[in-house]
Amino acid sequence: MCKRMDAREVLEKVKSGGMSVEEAEQYFRKQPYEEMGYAKLDTHREIRSGFPEVVFCSRKADVHLKNIYQKLYEENGEVFGTRASQHQYEAVRRLLPQVVYDEVSHILKIEKEGKEHIGEIAVCTAGTADIPVAEEAAQTAEYFGANVNRIYDVGVSGIHRMLSHLDIIQRANCIVAVAGMEGALASVLGGLVGRPVIAVPTSVGYGASLNGLSALLTMINSCANGIAVVNIDNGYGAGYIATQINRLAVKGE
C-alpha cells in the first residue's frame, strides 16, 4: 500500500535528503486524479480541502465499487463510503476483508487505527426513527476526526428529555439537529445555544410530511438564529460541515 503524501511532506523529504529533486518532480507531475475510465478519483482532494474523497455507494456497479475502494485504500490507507447495501458490503469484503459495514447508517469503511479526535460535536435526533440519518452524520464527523456526543430521541413531544442534556449540547462547537415530521427540533435548539446548528430534515412521518418536505420547509423558515439546513436525509453533508466548524473552533481556542 502506497501512502499519498501532501506537498509539505514531499518538500520536507527533499530538504532532509530523503527524496531527490528528480523524485519530487516526478511526484508532482502525476495528474491530480486517478483515471479509471468509468471514474476519475480525486486523489488530491485532501490536499485542497483537508478531506479525502468519499464514495457514494448507491447504484454503483459491484465491479466499479470494488475497484474504487481498492484504489482509494491504496492511496490513503483508509476509505469511507455512504449509502451502501449489504450486498455491496459482501462484494467489497471479498476484496478487502477489513472493511466494516454499519447496517444502521449504511456506511462502508476502512479506517486507520489510533486516529486523533478533537473538539466536540453534538448530534441530536427528534425520534428513534431519525437515528439512521443521525448516525450517518455522527460517523462522518468521527471518521474525519471529531469527538461526537449522541443525544437521541429528544424531540419536542417530550422536550424535558432534551433539556436534561442541555449542558452537553451547549458546550459543543456545533450541533446537528436531525428531525422528521414537523422538524421543530432545530428551532428549539437554535434558541438555546450560542453555536451553529445544522438542521437535517428526514423523510420520517405520515402522508402530509411529504417525505421530508414539511420538515425541510419548517427548518428553512425557522425564526431561530444560527441555523443552516442541508438536504432531506443528508446526514453525510451535515457531518462534513459540522467537522469543518469544529476544526475552526479548535484552531481558535
Instruction: Report the pLDDT value the prediction gives residue 167, as an integer from 0 to 100.
Output: 93
* CATH number for the domain harbouring residue 163: 3.40.50.1970
What is the domain count for the chain? 2
Residues 44 and 127 in one domain: no
Per-residue model confidence as pLDDT tens digits over 25-47: 777 666 576 666 777 766 767 77
In a domain, 26, yes or no: no
In a domain, 155, yes or no: yes
Query: What is the pTM (predicted TM-score) of this model?
Result: 0.85
Residues 47 and 98 in one domain: yes
Residues 134 and 180 in one domain: yes
Instruction: Report the pLDDT value the prediction gives residue 29, as an integer from 0 to 100.
Output: 60
* Whether pLDDT at 158 is above 70: yes
> Among 93, 110, 127, which residue terminates a domain?
110
Residues 99 and 129 in one domain: no
Residue, of 30 and 158, whose pLDDT is higher = 158
Instruction: Report the pLDDT value the prediction gives residue 2, as an integer from 0 to 100.
Output: 45
E strands, the chain, where?
34-35, 40-41, 55-56, 79-82, 100-102, 107-110, 118-125, 146-151, 174-179, 197-201, 227-229
* Whether pLDDT at 165 is above 80: yes
Q: List the grid coordinates of 172.
A: 459543543
Q: What is the chain's mean pLDDT, rounded?
A: 89
In a domain, 2, yes or no: no
Contact assessment for residue 133 and residue 186, using Cβ atoms and an 8 Å cutoff: no
> Among 110, 141, 176, which residue terminates a domain?
110
Residues 71 and 128 in one domain: no
Residues 133 and 248 in one domain: yes
Could you list the residue range(s) of the whole structural domain that residue 89 is in?
31-110
